[in-house]
Amino acid sequence: MSKLLPKILSAAVFPAALMIVSKIAGIALVNSITGLDWGLQTNTGTLFSVEVLYPSLHDAVSVNSYSNLFMTILLAAGTGVLLFQSYFLNASHQNPKVIVKLIHFDFLLWLSESSTIFPRLTVWLSFLWLATIVCLSQSLQSLVYPWISIAALVTSIIFTWLASHTIEEELHTILPEHGTLSS
């Protein structure tokens, strides 16, 4: 059995749940802040029969946009934490002083093995991109404000670049020169 697949599977459970819960929480949050009238209706034409209903298109777009923003922020925060962890993991490999600093700021427990971090980071990035794709597609249908989709796209691109940079540095630590393993 592959060792990577169970790691990906277990790493995907939390962001998948977060994606759903944050969307629902986002809708509830916007409803409570704005005090909009809303309701639930059953529609057997869709996969899930319950739909959230608003009196006007403007209200529906507004709630959808801000709930998507809330969800993207949470996914980006999760990815950011993993990026932070992987950055310090890499830095600690290269410089022992970093470990001392991490102990000083009580961040040592944040470190974990690269074999654990990188599959998780990849999974979280995938969910961030999925959220971005959903935002972009809904923006094209005028269901989400375009600035939210652009912000999600820019965040995803930056985080992907940072992740690839961190993974590349980690690979350089393992394979410093000429593609041979360091002793």
Partner 1 sequence: MMKKLARTVSRFSRFFDPFLVFGIFVLFAVPVITLLNLTPTYISPQTHTENVLGTTDQNNVSVTTNPEAQAGISVEKMTQTGDNSYTIYVQTDPHQAGAYGNRLFTATNSTHEEKTLVVTSTFENISPDTKVSLLVDSVKFIVRDTDGTTYPPAIYLKPNSSVNVFVEIENASPVNFISGFSLDVTVE
Q: Which residues bind partner 1 (CB under 8 A)?
A: 1-2, 5-6, 8-9, 12-13, 16, 19-20, 23-24, 27, 38, 41, 46-48, 51-57, 59-60, 63-64, 67, 71, 126-127, 130-131, 134, 138, 143
Pair 86, 121: CB distance under 8 Å: yes
Residue 25 in tokens: 């929480």
> Cβ closer to partner 1: 42 or 112?
42
Minimum gap (Å) between residue 91 Cβ and partner 1? 31
Place of tokens 């930056």: 158
Minimum gap (Å) between residue 157 Cβ and partner 1? 20
Minimum gap (Å) between residue 6 Cβ and partner 1? 6
> Cβ closer to partner 1: 16 or 174?
16
Instruction: Give the residue from 171, 162, 4 showing the smallest Cα distance to 90.
Output: 171
Pair 86, 166: CB distance under 8 Å: yes
> What is the Cα–Cα distance from 103 to 158, expressed in whole angstroms?
29
